[in-house]
Amino acid sequence: MREKIIHKSADLFLSYGFKSVTMDDIANALGISKKTIYLHFDNKTKLVEATTLSMFNIISHGIDCICALEKNPIEEIYDIKRFVSEHLKDEKSSPQYQLQKYYPKIFNSLKNKQFEVMYKCVNTNLNRGVELGIYRDTINVDFITRIYFNCMLAIKDDNLFPNNTFSKNMLMENYIEYHLRGICTIKGIEILNEIIQKNQS
């Protein structure tokens, strides 16, 4: 039952936001009493914490599996973007903003975990790209890895990019292209253009 509660809570939180969804909403969606939820979680904060950790673990495992395939580094970035978008439902409710505002301790803990995973993944991607001659060998890998992570957080900021003007998917597509055009060699740009054309058709 604990896993069912976490799964349904994740679904509701991503659809409507961490603040908007109540324990009653979760109980009603599962067809159980609120009392049953409290048998597994002392309060909503504990449930939010367990849910975000579960989502983080699922996404981290998926990213690890994609990276283990050792595809072309440019293709790998787009595969990870697709995988994350599918699992986060294009984040229509801006869960990151609500998490940061109403559950700052959980947000900061999650952010640190995300940085560890993304640092390793992006750093490896950049080094492989340089070795394969599709990223410039003059790039500062550590700097770009950190900038990449921070920009990924920034494009999810509703104050900078309001939901009614920018879809999260469009922001991701534009940012990834912006990132890659800044680091690719001529060979890399050719591969990037092919992938963009393929995605548009």
Read off the CATH number of the domain in which 66 is found.
1.10.357.10
pLDDT of 14-71, one tens digit each?
888 898 899 999 999 999 999 999 999 999 999 999 999 999 999 999 999 999 999 9
Is 134 a domain residue?
yes
Band of residue 169 on the pLDDT scale cut at 50, 70, 90: confident
Asked if residue 32 is part of any domain, the answer here is no
What's the longest Cα–Cα distance across the chain?
A: 61
Provide the domain limits for residue 65. Answer: 52-200
Residue 19 domain-assigned (yes or no):
no
Number of domains forming the structure of the chain: 1
For residue 129, pLDDT over 80 is answered with yes
Q: Does any domain span residue 140?
A: yes
154-167 per-position pLDDT tens digit = 988 888 888 888 88
Q: Classify residue 39: in a domain, yes or no.
A: no
Bridge-partner residues for 184, per DSSP? 135
The verdict on residue 12 lying in a domain is: no
